[in-house]
A and B are shown apart, each in its own frame.
Chain A
Amino acid sequence: MTLLAGLAVLLYSGRASAAGLVSDQYKSLTLMVFAGIIALTLMVTYFAARRGQTIRDFYTGGGISGFKNGFAIAGDYLSAAAFLGASGLIALYGYDGMLYLAGFFVAFVPVMLLVAEPCRNLGRYTLGDILAYRNSFRSSKLVAAVSGIFVSIFYMVPQIVGGAVLIKALVGIEYEVSVATVGVLMLIYVFFGGMRATTWVQIIKAVLLLSACFILVLLSWAPFGFSAPRMLGALSINPQFVSYMSTLVGGSGGDSTDVVQRFFQPGLYLTNPLELMSLGFALILGTAAMPHILMRFFTVPDARTARSSVLWGMLLIGACHLMIFAIGFAAAHFIGGKQIALLDKGGNLAAPILAQYLGGGAASFSGNLMLAFVAAISFATIVAVVAGLTLAAASSLAHDIYVGAIKNGDVSQKGQIVAAKIASVAVGVIATALGLMAKGQNVAQLVGLAFAVASSANFPALLLTLYWRRCNTMGVIFGVVGGTATAIILVLVSPNMQYPALQLEAAQAKTEKLRETLRQSDNQEQRIKVAAAEAEVAHLQQGSQTSLIGLARPLIPLKNPGIISIPVGFLLVVLGSLLSRKRSEDEVWNNMRIRRLTGVGRAVASDH
């Protein structure tokens, strides 16, 4: 084991280029910290695999306690986007970062109220089980699975891509190596350890992440006695911050206090009101239908435990978010927006740089140790979330599509296990391949798309199947297929895509402005800028003038289609149900209601 670890460190140090936040002399230290955390997770997988597996073990891992599952939920849900991304947004844009993050947390209220307990009572392993409860078995399974797999992949790819980019920026490991490592690790956890290993990896990650956040808040807010007015007061008179704000807000008026106050007000990042509402609703409704979240409710013995695990999860996620708020503002104060944006435009490196600074700076041992930990924990964060998503997608593929839709439920235990393992490998390979292909692409909007599909396709179908008697198979099919299609089509005609014609216009305008400046003050530097801009215009003029699907400009101004596609999704389920005359018989409907409420007759999960 130690020999392997040593070999791995040697292999990776060779690949770590000179670039990266970590000072060169501390590279091996960083890799050792990485190796330590990864070794821990692999050990856990080994023990999980040794306990042997039935198919029930593979998918649900068994009846774990609410407390453990709460940690696993937190580990499954808190992504690098929350820890690194949101703290960066707060560091750069202040209030809007808080607003953005809050949506991710409150999304658990609908989960707790509407979805957690009914799912545990009615389902076995997947969303497909629940939709198939009183609808046509094969169609519901097929439709739920395809949509679920789409959502999982849309959510997974940005995690892998974003993660690899960050690791490269932090430690200098090449993009492809990071992606491959994430892929291999996630496959090991899922293939060998199934849900048990995945659960424990998520628990470990949650503990590490919460500890890291706690230490960062402790170190950065102690000088201010943990008083928010004092800390923010110091921030607002910090000269580096004031100068950052004047550059950001520009000459758009007001004296320096007004300019500084803009940081604490909405509008620096989320500038489009409709967009904000759209994103907000997609978040709160989509989370309740996300495959990897729903999957966590099948791992507990009963509905009461499902309820308490949501509560524990909310407590941990809420605490983590509040700490992330604190970290974001601390980064704005100690490091400063300018520095953060220089290292990464999106601000994703704010938390790691803060860790390095608080530890003692870029030249110190403790500074780089802190940075190594934060980097390793970010990596673990990505792997844990991706493993959860892979298992969710694999269970859809194997349990819903193969065992359910294709074989109509008629597969032996052994056959189910084989199917599940093959499915995990398939999903893992596809996700890794997409991650490698997406190098250099801006895939962040895929996350928005994942939530859009989950909230417009899966959520309406789930909600109405659970609570509306008149809902039937036709409704579910209309809703899931229609909702997914609507969300995807709306994204294809949205500003998310690349529009060369618009880029050309922007480039031409920029060139004009630079030429104007040149006329006023002719010098070498300015001439170079103008030449570069003109070259860009020429380059753009040569390429295609339309987006991927042939549009010159976006048809709708929204990046997140939620506010349109969610109502459409609901309408489609209603329409489909009403069009088909089928109505659940008394007995079926009553049985479902009784089981949904009391849990009598539910599927059993064994111990983890």
Chain B
Amino acid sequence: MKMSEQDFYLEKIEAISGRQLRLVVLLMAGFLIYYASLLFGAAYFPNIFAVRISGNINIGMLFTVSQYFMAGVIAWIYVKRMQSIDADLYKLNP
């Protein structure tokens, strides 16, 4: 019957939508924590940032450059997970 087919479809979509939202919320949270700690650290813990690692390069500089790679990691995770979500969506809507 058409009604239950629609409900079935909606249920599936909601499940996938839920997965996608969870993924996005988790990645956003991770990103915010990582970036906020950069801001917090630079603002309130400059003495930790000043600790030297190699020559003149200190924790602060490494942490800042790492933000670029963090974004790359988050992007990579997002793309990988979305590939499986997209595959499931395609099964529903070919």
Binding site for B on A (CB under 8 A): 95, 98-99, 102-103, 105-106, 108-110, 112-114, 228-230, 232-233, 235-236, 261, 264-267, 270, 273-274, 276-277, 280, 284, 304, 307, 311, 314, 318, 321-322, 325, 467, 590, 593-594, 597-598, 600
Contacts and interface: CB of A to CB of B under 8 A. Distances in A.
A110 B31 contact: yes
Contact of A277 (B20, B24, B40, B89): B40
Interface in B1-53: 10, 13-14, 16-17, 20-21, 24, 27-28, 31, 35-36, 38-40, 42-44, 46, 49-50, 52
Nearest to B10: A590
* 3 nearest A-B residue pairs (beta carbon): A273-B43, A229-B55, A266-B42
Contacts of A233: 55-56
Interface string B55-74: 11110110011011011101
A113 B78 contact: yes
A308 to B, nearest CB: 8
A314 B67 CA distance: 12
Contacts of B35: 103, 106, 280, 284
Contacts of B38: 99, 102
Contact of B50 (A230, A265, A467): A265
Contacts of B46: 265-267
B89 A597 contact: yes
A396 B70 CA distance: 34
Nearest to A321: B68
A44 to B, nearest CB: 30
A229 B42 contact: no
Interface of B: 10, 13-14, 16-17, 20-21, 24, 27-28, 31, 35-36, 38-40, 42-44, 46, 49-50, 52, 54-58, 60-61, 64-65, 67-68, 70-72, 74-75, 78-79, 82, 86, 89, 92-93
Contact of A228 (B52, B57, B86, B93): B57
Given A99-B42, A106-B35, A322 B13 contact: no
A112 B78 CA distance: 9
A95 B61 contact: yes
A548 B56 CA distance: 46
B31 A597 contact: no
B42 A112 contact: no
Contacts of B17: 593, 597
6 contacts: A99-B38, A113-B78, A114-B24, A114-B28, A322-B68, A598-B92
Contact of B31 (A106, A264, A267, A600): A106
A588 B75 CA distance: 31
A232 to B, nearest CB: 4
B71 A108 contact: yes
A105 B67 contact: yes
A105 B71 contact: yes
B67 A232 contact: no
A113 B28 contact: yes
Contact of A113 (B24, B54, B65): B24
Interface centre among B14, B40, B52, B71 (most CB of A within 10 A): B71
A298 B47 CA distance: 46
B3 to A, nearest CB: 14
Nearest to B28: A113
B86 A304 contact: yes
Given A98-B61, A307-B82, A593-B13, A265 B24 contact: no
A106 B78 CA distance: 15
B68 A280 contact: no
A322 B86 CA distance: 33
Given A99-B64, A276-B42, A229 B71 contact: no
B74 A598 contact: no
A11 to B, nearest CB: 43
Contacts of B64: 95, 98-99, 102
B54 A276 contact: no
A256 to B, nearest CB: 13
Contact of A307 (B27, B61, B79): B79
B31 A109 contact: yes
A106 B67 contact: yes
Nearest to B50: A265
Contacts of B75: 109, 112, 311, 314
Given A261-B50, A267-B46, A593-B17, A109 B71 contact: yes
A318 B73 CA distance: 13
A98 B55 CA distance: 18
Given A276-B39, A314-B75, 12 more contacts: A95-B49, A102-B38, A105-B68, A110-B28, A230-B55, A232-B56, A264-B60, A265-B58, A304-B86, A311-B75, A321-B68, A593-B14
B16 A597 contact: yes
Chain A CB count within 10 A is highest, among B35, B38, B93, for B35
A261 B44 contact: no
Contacts of A311: 75, 79
Residue from B10, B42, B67 having most chain A Cβ neighbours under 10 A: B42
A266 B60 contact: yes
B87 to A, nearest CB: 12
Contacts of A99: 38, 42, 64
A295 B21 CA distance: 23
Contacts of B52: 261
A230 B54 CA distance: 10
Contacts of B14: 593
A276 B37 CA distance: 12
A98 B38 CA distance: 12
A157 B86 CA distance: 42
